[in-house]
Amino acid sequence: MARMPIIAGNWKMHNKRAEAEQLAREVVAATAATTDVEIVLCPPFTSLEAVAKAIAGSRVKLGAQNCHFEEKGAFTGEVSVPMLKELGVEYVIIGHSERRQYFAETDAAINRKAQTLYAHGVTPIICVGETLEEREAGRTAEVVSTQVRGCLAGLPADKVAASVIAYEPVWAIGTGRTATKEQAQEVHALIRKLVAEMFTPDVAAALRIQYGGSVKPENARELMSQPDIDGALVGGASLKAESFAGIVNFNK
Ligand code: PGA
C-alpha cells in the first residue's frame, strides 16, 4: 500500500491570530496544485480558529501542538482533546522534544494522550528522537526504540496503523543541521521494524513516519526519496508560505 506523504507545519509559539490567518491563506494558495501530499498546519491554540477559517474548503488540515490526556477536569492551563476537536483539529503533535525537555512529558503521558486522541477520532503525530549526546554515545537505536515502545505500548493496532510518528533528532531541530538522508533512513527503518514486531508487518507498512529537524525546500526532495521517510514535520521553514510550500511541493 502506498503511503501518502504528510507534511506538517509546527509553528511552535509563533503567529498571533491575524498573522496566522494570513500565513494559512498563503499556504493554501501556494499548495493548491499539490494533491498527492497531505498538508497539516499546527498553529498555537489561540490561532486555531483563525487558521480553521482560512483553510476552510481547501485540502489543508488543522493540527494542534499538544493536548491533555484527560477529557476534562481540574488541570489549570491545559486544553482537552474535545476542545480541540470542536475547532476542527484532525491531528495533534504529542511528545515533541521541546515538551519532553521543558515540560517533562514522558512516554507514559504520550501513550495516554494517544489513547484519548484515538477515542475522539483525532490522529496523533508522535515525536521521538535522540539528543546529540545520545547519538555521540552510540545510543540512538536504544533511545528511539525505548521511546517508540513506551509511546505505543498497548495501543490498538488499527489506530497505530493510521497514526504518524515523527523522527526528530534533537540535534537537528532549529539548528540548521539536518540528518543526512542515510542517517534518517536508518532510524526510520528501525522504527518500522520495531512497529512490525510490536504489532504486525501490515501495521508497520501502513504507518507514516515523518522526518523532522531543519527540513528546508533544498533538502526535502532528497529526504523524501528515502523508502521509509513519508513526510516531514517542519518548524522554522513552516513560518513562511514560500518555504513551506517549497517543501510540500518537493516532487514538482
Ligand atoms: P525545525 O523544527 O524545522 O525548525 O528544525 C522541527 C520541529 O521542531 O518540529
161-184 pLDDT per residue, tens? 999 999 999 999 999 999 999 999
In this structure, which residue's CA is closest to atom 2 in ligand 1?
Answer: 235
Q: How far is the CA of 56 from the centre of ligand 1 (A)?
A: 26
pLDDT, position 195? 98
Report H helices in the chain.
Answer: 17-31, 48-55, 81-86, 97-103, 107-119, 132-136, 140-152, 157-161, 181-198, 201-206, 217-224, 241-248
178: its cell numbers: 539536518
Q: How confident is the model at residue 90 (pLDDT cuts 50, 70, 90)?
A: very high
Instruction: Report whether 149 contacts 111 (CB < 8 A).
Output: no
Instruction: Report whether 87 contacts 49 (CB < 8 A).
Output: yes
State yes or no: pLDDT of 88 exceeds 80.
yes
| Predicted TM-score (pTM) of this structure | 0.98
Strand duo 123-128 + 89-94: pairing: parallel
Residue type, 96: H
Is the CB–ligand 1 distance for residue 232 below 6 Å?
no
Average pLDDT, the chain: 97
Is the CB–ligand 1 distance for residue 206 below 6 Å?
no
Q: How confident is the model at residue 1 (pLDDT cuts 50, 70, 90)?
A: low
168 is annotated as an active-site residue: yes
Listed residue (62, 66, 65, 160) closest to 109, CA to CA: 66
Name the residue of 214, 243, 244 to mutate for ligand 1: max ligand atoms within 8 A of Cβ. Answer: 214
The average pLDDT across 185-201 equals 98
Greatest C-alpha distance within the chain: 49
State yes or no: pLDDT of 109 exceeds 90.
yes
pLDDT tens track for 126-140: 999 999 999 999 999
Q: How confident is the model at residue 78 (pLDDT cuts 50, 70, 90)?
A: very high
Q: How far is the CA of 74 from the centre of ligand 1 (A)?
A: 32
Listed residue (80, 138, 128, 87) closest to 106, CA to CA: 128
90 is annotated as an active-site residue: no
List, in order of start, the domains of the chain with CATH numbers.
6-248 (3.20.20.70)
